[in-house]
Structure 1
Amino acid sequence: MADNDRGAPVLSLSAMGKDYAAPVLDGVSLELRAGEVLALTGENGAGKSTLSKIVCGLVQPTRGGMLLDGRPFAPASRRDAERLGVRMVMQELGLVTTLSVAENLLLDRLPHKSGWIRRATLHELAERQLAKIGLDGIDPATPVARLGIGQQQMVEIARNLQDDTRVLVLDEPTAMLTPRETAHLFEQIELLKLRGVAIVYVSHRLEELQRIADRVAVLRDGRLVDVRAMAGVRESELVQRMVGREVHEHEGRERRVAGPVLLSARGIGRAQVVRDVDIELRAGEIMGLAGLVGSGRTELVRLLFGADRADRGEVVLHDGTPAAQPVQHARKGWRSPMQAIRAGIGLVTEDRKSQGLLLSQPIRVNATLSDLGAISHAGWLRRAKERQIARRLVELLRIRSRSIEQPVSTLSGGNQQKVVFARWLHRECKVLLLDEPTRGVDVGARADLYAELDRMTDAGKALLMVSSDLRELMAMCDRIGVMSAGRLVAVFERGEWTEQSLLAAAFSDASGRVPGSPADSASAAPAPTSADA
């Protein structure tokens, strides 16, 4: 790209607005420049996704206009936008899981001859596309359904890295990626900048914005409240502009005083995925769970909830007294999630959309689904009671919505996550298992969720929290266990851990042995603010 072209406007937005029952976007004017990354940030529900979808033809604006390279731009569909080089990697994956990686990458341009797909050519083209983002080790013939969710996200990104791209919108692209995958993505972003591509980078991860963005635009309540150069901007400034209120940090908290054991597992295992884990969850504390991809963290949580059947070991529910007397044994784990729920255990799943919510149903139904007995009598649903409970939960968790009748599919990611939390608050579980509870959640909603976790521990609940973000675990947890190769290889008490020691344990083998020195292991880890999960 010629030097005199750098910084030229590629896409201009003028007074963009979108109304549903109420305005969700109002009077947003922006310019996207060639060869730069514009960070777009704000709380969940601020209008980021709506604005991005308007740019990419997925949503039609109520008012305002756009210019692409100085010409009127009003795409009627995503295909229309893509024909003009405007593409979007959405937070919700759009892959066809029954097709292969190669077929997904080239779905709209499959090489063929006489009506037959040319498989050799297809796989050759797919391999080139995968190599761009460091996935050259994946067989293009692999069905997408067999990939992990992070690898699926990388395939979605690879599908949109086309040579004719003029504008690329990335909506929370690293939410499910490891640091290594994130590094590959950032390398591609730098190459796209050199080609003059204008990039909109939507994210809540402020440390990433500082690494990759040239400018930052902040949305709040559908309005553009700030646009500035990213250099020199402090995280605290961005947070203040995003939420419009003070957000309390949890760094340096005192260790909670743990109560008696509420749940314990002995020798729990499933094939080689989870290998003979012993773990105790205590009243009034949060235990964190860190580890690398494939370490068995999510699989352990699923065994403790009965979502997967263990083939050895036991889970024991205790009575909550200092003597921690067992009140219920589950040989080889719970038979089903329902048995675990009846025992007082809840699970906030890693994937709220496919596993945690009934997307087409309203907030009212989703928030009360875990305990229908509390809102029914003699087999009949008590609608007034259901509405009363739902309204209380919406108010308690500050769920931003038009009403309790709003379908959860229309809520922002952070508010959807709050609805999942509401379900288990309604159930009043003794033990809550949390798998990536703040993934894709903005700083304001995250602070609300952290405050709720504090209230739960104050009430004597036991929490187990899986997170890819080591800073989150170190800020919130009283103990942190580290998984490696299916085993729980180390447990650190608050005050004992460092980021280095946690990463060294995560990179150890299943016996807890760290290859080389701890310093070597830590220095080999990519830019760790996360446990590569």
Structure 2
Amino acid sequence: MSDNHVVLEMKHITKVFPGVRALDDVNLQVRAGEIHAICGENGAGKSTLMKVLSGVYPHGTFEGELVFQGESVEFKDIKASEAAGIAIIHQELALIPELSIMENIFLGNEPKSGIGIDWLEARRRSMDLMARVGLQESPDTAIKNIGVGKQQLVEIAKALSKDVKLLILDEPTSALNEDDSEDLLNLLRGLKSKGMTCIMISHKLNEIEEIADTITIIRDGKTVETLSVKAGEIDQDRIIRGMVGRSMDARYPDHTPQIGEVFFEVKNWTVEHPQVPGRMVCKGSEFNVKRGEIVGFAGLMGAGRTELARSIFGRSYGKFVAGQIYKDGKLIELTSVRKAIESGVAYLSEDRKSLGLNLLDSVMQTIVSAGLRKISTRTVIDEIEEYKAAEGYRKSLRIKVNDVYRNINTLSGGNQQKAVLAKWLFTEPDVLILDEPTRGIDVGAKYEIYGLIQKLADQGKGVVVISSELPELLGICDRIYTIFEGRITGDVSRGVATQENLMRLMTTPTSAAV
């Protein structure tokens, strides 16, 4: 850091929603040219604090003072904070898929020529900004045709186009693979070397430990402590202790599995890409699940893990070509999502926002949505039974919300994930497929979900866990399959599984059992 003066102060910030004190006398100092990480459990108040700073929650809707570059500021909206040099990139990217990279970068901020848009200037500036963030695409490329990692770079280029002085990133790597995550972290290091100040919210403690200069921990809406990397105050255990208010000696609950016989089998499962004829996304896949067993699926981004899961769950992805599914030795036809649910199969999607939730629903409506027949008489919903079911899961899964009538969109990411999990548990499945069940969730909530997965297995259910994090699979799974380019390449028992042998199977087309 070339300069060490305080560029931002948030003093005594308090934000109250109906029935909830989201922030309670929070104080934060950020120094110029540093990467300042903010850590905390889901629902701790991290994103709320950044929304206060960026004008999403305007001045007058919270108590406390914002001081930016030595001056007290009052932002009435996002445009006001951007005009001051503060830009926020939310976890859910605010890009329009059908528009080009160039159009997205300057959306609402287009260079003008007379009464129209100066597209030549927009192209020149977009190419400069793209080069600055390392994006080697044509400015005319549609957002929908680039991956999430590159979309994240477009968001940063968009922020840089507004002469940003303080860049806020909310879970910037939560949806990225390891390579894209490392590229993004390198970009942040480069911006820092040129004097940019960044605030980064993340649950990935290894990344925080690697890149942050300073870490502020928030718990239950209050500032716990601020730690300096240079002073040697930081290790993951210290951060976790501050986040959850207790020591977590083990990241994964102890568990002694009680594994029975094979009861769910997939044979010769072959599926064609929905838009590319002849391209197979599942190539003769075969696997099985035993009662009481937690089965993992490991593969690099694009290997076909999600495609396999979605195509099994009611053929909701791709074009079915061949294959059979057996449950308790009997052939079952999961030709629709309804038939999958009725057959005791459930699927929690990796993208809860677009595939797992209706953001207009209440928590109660979300929880009962996949099992309405259980609480209905002659197609009429019994509202008392609806409430009892939702309230029961709210308590048992410890969903942090005052009542189940609250809109699901008001919950933190971790609590939304618990609500989606409750939705599928309400259907009483025998086989539960969980696709990235802990993505974007803090370590405390992860521990709770791991315990719930183990409890489900102990009830004799078969649980399939798809995860990009190998330590997670090694920590909770009894057996792990590996996938490479749509083909299952390995079946590895827990006793011999390592990151090294899993990675080898994830990067080779040969099949093996370990």
Q: TM-score, normalised by structure 2?
A: 0.92
Larger displacement relative to structure 2 (228-237 or 391-400): 228-237
SS in 2 for 1:29: strand
Match of 1:20 in 2: 17
- Give the whole-Å Cα distance in 2 for the aligned partners of 1:180 and 1:479: 26
**Alpha carbons of 1:119 and 1:70: their partners in 2 closer, same or farther (altered >3 Å)?**
closer
Aligned in 2, Cα 1:197/1:250: closer, same or farther, shift over 3 Å? closer
Is the contact made by 1:267 and 1:312 (CA closer than 8 Å) also made in structure 2?
no
Letter in 2 for 1:361: D
Specify the alignment match of 1:263 in structure 2. 264
Counterpart CA distance in 1 for 2:379 and 2:186 is 58
**Paired position in structure 1 for 2:287:** 279
Which consecutive unaligned segments of at least 5 residues does structure 1 have?
Answer: 320-324, 514-533
Out of 313, 317, 320, the position equivalent to 1:308 is 317
- Deviations 1:289-347 (CA, angstroms, capped at 9, x unpaired): 1111211111111111121254222232322xxxxx21x333xxx32211111111111
| Cα distance between partner residues in 2 of 1:489 and 1:278 | 10
| Contact 1:253/1:475 (8 A) holds in 2 | no
Shift of 1:248: 6.2
- Contact residue 93 and residue 156 of structure 1 kept, 8 A: yes
1:291 aligned onto 2:292: no
Cα-to-partner distance string for 1:246-305 (whole Å, 9 max, x where unaligned): 546355966734322232211112222221211112211111111112111111111111
- CA gap of 1:309–1:164, structure 2 versus 1, over 3 A, is closer
Structure 2 counterpart SS, 1:273: strand
Instruction: Give the aligned partner of residue 42 of structure 1.
Output: 40
Counterpart of 1:528? none
Aligned with 2:452: secondary structure? helix
CA gap of 1:365–1:471, structure 2 versus 1, over 3 A, is same
- SS of 1:427's partner is coil
Structure 2: runs of 5+ lacking an equivalent: 273-279
Q: Provide the secondary structure at the position in 2 that maps to 1:505.
A: helix
Q: Secondary structure at the match of 1:288?
A: strand
Moved over 6 A (4+): none
Q: TM-score scaled to structure 1, two decimals?
A: 0.89
DSSP 3-state at the match of 1:311: strand
Report which stretch shifted further, 391-400 or 147-156.
Answer: 147-156
CA distance in 2, matches of 1:214, 1:90: 21
The partner residue of 2:8 within 4, 7, 11 is 11
CA distance in 1, matches of 2:349, 2:182: 26
Corresponding residue number in structure 2 for 1:518: none
One-letter code of the match for 1:408? I
The one-letter code sitting in structure 2 at the alignment partner of 1:146 is N
Cα distance, 1:109–1:258 mapped onto 2, change above 3 Å: same
CA distance in 2, matches of 1:246, 1:288: 27
2:422 corresponding residue in structure 1? 422
Matched to 1:236, the amino acid is D
Contact 2:253 2:451 in 1 (8 A): no
Equivalent residue number for residue 82 of structure 2? 82
Cross-structure match for 2:277: none
| Aligned pairs, number | 499
2:433 corresponding residue in structure 1: 433
Hey, what does 1:526 align to over in structure 2?
none
Q: Which amino acid aligns with 1:147?
A: I
Q: Measured at CA, do residues 341 and 225 of structure 1 come closer, stay the same or move farther in structure 2, by a change above 3 Å?
A: same
Please tell me whether the aligned partners of residues 14 and 25 of structure 2 are also in contact (alpha carbons under 8 angstroms).
yes
User: What code does the residue aligned with 2:173 have?
Assistant: T
Q: Give 3-state SS (helix, strand or coil) of 1:489's partner.
A: strand
Equivalent position amino acid for 2:261 in 1: P
- Cα distance in 1 between the residues matched to 2:400 and 2:253: 30
Question: Does structure 2 conserve the Cα–Cα contact (< 8 Å) formed by 1:414 and 1:440?
Answer: yes
Residue 148 and residue 346 in structure 1: after superposition, are their counterparts in 2 closer, same or farther (change >3 A)? farther
CA drift at 1:11: 1.0
Residue in structure 2 matched with residue 229 of structure 1 by the alignment: 228
Give the distance between the partners of 1:291 and 1:255, measured in 2 at CA: 26
After superposition, residues 365-376 of structure 1 pair within 5 angstroms as 365-376=365-376
Report 1:212-251 matches (<5 A): 212-230=211-229, 231-247=232-248, 249=250
Question: Is contact 1:359-1:409 (8 Å) kept?
Answer: yes
Letter in 1 for 2:99: L
1:124: how far off? Answer: 4.6
Q: Which moved more, 1:38-47 or 1:253-262?
A: 253-262
Deviation for aligned residue 1:201:
0.9
Instruction: Return closer, same or farther for 1:341/1:146 CA change in 2, 3 Å cut-off.
Output: farther
What is aligned with 2:484?
484
Displacement after TM superposition at 1:354 (Å) = 1.1
Secondary structure, counterpart of 2:4 in structure 1: coil
Match of 2:355 in 1: 355
> Matched residues in 1 for 2:309 and 2:120: separation?
41
Amino acid at match of 1:23: R
Note the 1:181-200 alignment, pairs <5 A: 181-200=180-199
How far, CA to CA, are the matches of 2:500 and 2:376 in structure 1?
Answer: 51
Work out whether residues 258 and 458 of structure 2, in 8 Å CA contact, stay in contact via their aligned partners in 1.
no
After the TM superposition, which residues 29-108 of structure 1 pair with which residues of structure 2 at under 5 Å, given as runs? 29-60=27-58, 61-108=61-108
> Residues of 2 paired with 1:277 and 1:118: CA distance?
52
2:167 maps to which residue?
168
Residue 404 of structure 1 deviates from its aligned partner by 0.8
Q: Check the 8 A contact 1:248/1:447 in 2, yes or no.
A: no
Q: Report the 3-state secondary structure (helix = DSSP H, G, I; strand = E; otherwise coil) of the residue aligned with 2:155.
A: helix
Deviation of the 1:118 alpha carbon:
5.7
Is the CA contact 1:10–1:166 (under 8 Å) kept in the aligned structure 2? no
Question: Kindly tell me: are residues 222 and 250 of structure 1, through their superposed partners in 2, closer, same or farther at Cα, counting changes over 3 Å?
Answer: closer
Per-residue CA shift, 1:212-270, capped at 9, x if unaligned?
11111111111111112133422222212211245463559667343222322111122
